Amino acid sequence: MAERGALWLLCLLCLTFLRTDCAAAKHVDKGSAAHPFSPFWFTVEPQDTLAVRGNPALLNCSAHSDGATPARITWKKDGTFMSLVSDERRRILPDGSLFFSHITHSKHNKPDEGIYQCVATIDNLGSISSRTARLSVAGSPRFSSQPSAATVHVGDSQVLACEVYSDLVQFTHWERDRRPLEPSARMIQLPSGALVISNASEADAGLYRCVVENVGPAKASDEAQLQTVPETGEERKLEFLVQPTSVTKVMGSTVLLSCAATGYPVPHIHWMVGDKLLEESASTLFCNCCKKSPRETVRGTDRATSSGSPGCQVTL
Q: Domain with 115 in it: what CATH number? A: 2.60.40.10
Looking at the fold, whether 129 and 44 belong to one and the same domain comes out as yes
Residue 294 has pLDDT above 60, yes or no: no
pTM, two decimal places: 0.58
Looking at the fold, whether 212 and 253 belong to one and the same domain comes out as no
279 pLDDT band, cuts 50/70/90, is low
* DSSP secondary structure letter of residue 203: G
Instruction: Supply the pLDDT for residue 120.
Output: 96
Residue finishing a domain among 209, 231, 253: 231
Complete DSSP assignment for 24-43: HHHHHHHHHHHS----EEEE
- Which of 74-78, 115-119, 123-127, 128-132 bottoms out in mean pLDDT, i.e. has the lowest? 123-127
Higher pLDDT, 16 or 70: 70
Strand partners of residue 172? 212
Residue 300 has pLDDT above 80, yes or no: no
Looking at the fold, whether 175 and 264 belong to one and the same domain comes out as no
Is position 270 within any domain?
Answer: yes
Looking at the fold, whether 196 and 242 belong to one and the same domain comes out as no
Q: How many domains does the chain have?
A: 3
Instruction: Supply the pLDDT for residue 67.
Output: 79
Is position 189 within any domain?
Answer: yes
Is position 3 within any domain?
Answer: no
Looking at the fold, whether 120 and 149 belong to one and the same domain comes out as no
Burial class (CB in 10 A: 0-12, 13-18, 19+), 29: exposed
Residue 286 has pLDDT above 80, yes or no: no
Is position 82 within any domain?
Answer: yes
Residue 296 has pLDDT above 70, yes or no: no
On whether the CB atoms of residues 258 and 241 are closer than 8 A, the answer is no
Looking at the fold, whether 224 and 281 belong to one and the same domain comes out as no
104: containing domain? 40-138
37 pLDDT band, cuts 50/70/90, is low
Instruction: Supply the pLDDT for residue 258.
Output: 82
Higher pLDDT, 30 or 108: 108
- Which of 36-40, 163-167, 252-256, 281-285 bottoms out in mean pLDDT, i.e. has the lowest? 281-285
Looking at the fold, whether 196 and 213 belong to one and the same domain comes out as yes
Higher pLDDT, 145 or 37: 145
Looking at the fold, whether 147 and 222 belong to one and the same domain comes out as yes
Instruction: Supply the pLDDT for residue 281.
Output: 52
Over residues 166-197, the pLDDT tens digits come to: 778 888 999 999 999 988 889 999 888 999 99
Residue finishing a domain among 231, 246, 276: 231
Residue finishing a domain among 177, 200, 231: 231
- Torsion sign over Cα 195, 198, 203, 205: positive
Average pLDDT, the chain: 79
Q: Where is mean pLDDT largest: 73-82, 230-239, 274-283? A: 73-82
Is position 57 within any domain?
Answer: yes
Residue 33 phi/psi, 5-degree rounding, is -70, -35
Looking at the fold, whether 198 and 256 belong to one and the same domain comes out as no
Looking at the fold, whether 148 and 207 belong to one and the same domain comes out as yes
Is position 150 within any domain?
Answer: yes
Residue 178 phi/psi, 5-degree rounding, is 65, 20
Looking at the fold, whether 262 and 299 belong to one and the same domain comes out as yes
Q: DSSP 3-state helix, strand, coil percentages of the chain (rounded to 5)?
A: 15, 40, 45
Is position 179 within any domain?
Answer: yes
287 pLDDT band, cuts 50/70/90, is very low
Is position 97 within any domain?
Answer: yes
Question: What mean pLDDT is predicted for residues 128-137?
Answer: 94
Looking at the fold, whether 309 and 265 belong to one and the same domain comes out as yes
